[in-house]
Amino acid sequence: MSLRVLYAQQSLLNALSQTLVRSMSTQGGSKNIGFIGLGNMGNHMASHLIKAGHKLHVFDISKPAVESLAAKGATAYTKTTELAKNSDFVITMLPNNDIVNASYEEMTSDGVNKNTIFIDSSTIDPNLVKSLQKRISAKGARFIDAPVSGGVPGAEQGTLTFMVGATDEEYNAVKSILECMGKRITHCGTYGMGQAAKICNNMMLGISMIGVAEAMNLAIRQGLNPHTFAEIINSSTGRCWASELYNPVPGVTPTAPANRDYAGGFSTDLITKDLGLASGVATSSNTPIPMGAMAHQIYRTLKSQGLGSKDFSVVYDFMKNEKYN
């Protein structure tokens, strides 16, 4: 076979490959994107998709949340089944396993468009991801997991990290959409691997926030100025995201929820849920997580004190407040 023929065949294969990717990707113009779950994170994420020029279809149980997106140009829906049928891609950003499962059961109850890709950016059990993928693929559509890290600041600034569990083809199909909302899009492997990465990351986050809260409280009680000590931490070995960008002491990080009486942000309810997921995965894989288990117990205690709706950095206030000791 001549080199000319080989080259022509290779060119044809490359062209077919690119055509397939383009047919599943957002490149080439605006796409119809459904977004379900317009909370502290989802509202900002959806807004970035509108700014990028996509046609957004939204649903949330909160009427004000829907109205705020509609005012920016999104189309509001009262039925997720209709939203899904009018969307090339559907992104879900929901609180927990049960709500995610129920939402997908309802949304796909009347069938699905075979070209639709469902992207779940919630934090849920990897086993639920695999179950949903099987159910939705059996209906003819696609489902992948793409949880996020970066918190509300990352969602607001469009700098989130997405951890994607999908095939190579699906990853390439959704990457440009996720790039509208995030700075780093990482392919973690097959279905559920995005959630595996997210659960481990959030366990680490819960542990580190407690560590920062403990250290700041101890330093302040010894007479150290909190700003001075925070500067020391953030220029030495104690530096971490919780100390530098989300310090739990009021006044230290101007944009942190600590300055708003721990309102908004990433709730204690959610970090407790995520640590519970980590505990379940650890049990099923026979993996010791002594620090993760302790962090889970501490946040469960905060919930029992009525602090579930507060940002998880409220653990500092819990520790320094004498009435909790």
Q: Rounded CA gap, 218 and 208, in Å?
A: 15
- Which residues are within 8 A (CB) of 227 and not within 5 positions of it... i.e. 6 or more apart? 251, 252
Question: Which secondary-structure segment (H or E) carries 290?
Answer: helix 290-304
Please, what's the b/e burial string for 268-281 (b: 16 or more CB within 10 A of its CB; e: otherwise)? bbbbbbbbbbbbeb
Determine contact, residues 32/91, Cβ cutoff 8 Å.
no
Catalytic residue among 31, 198, 310, 320: 198
For the record, the structure tokens of 7 come out as: 């080259």
Q: Is 175 among the residues known to form the active site?
A: no
**Residue whose pair of structure tokens reads 């007479």 in the numeric block:** 223
For the record, the structure tokens of 315 come out as: 């653990």
- Which residues are within 8 A (CB) of 71 and not within 5 positions of it... i.e. 6 or more apart? none
Question: Is 154 in a helix, a strand, or coil?
Answer: helix
For the record, the structure tokens of 115 come out as: 């070209």
Give 257-286 as a DSSP string: GGGGTT-SSSBHHHHHHHHHHHHHHHHHTT
Q: Which residues are catalytic?
A: 198
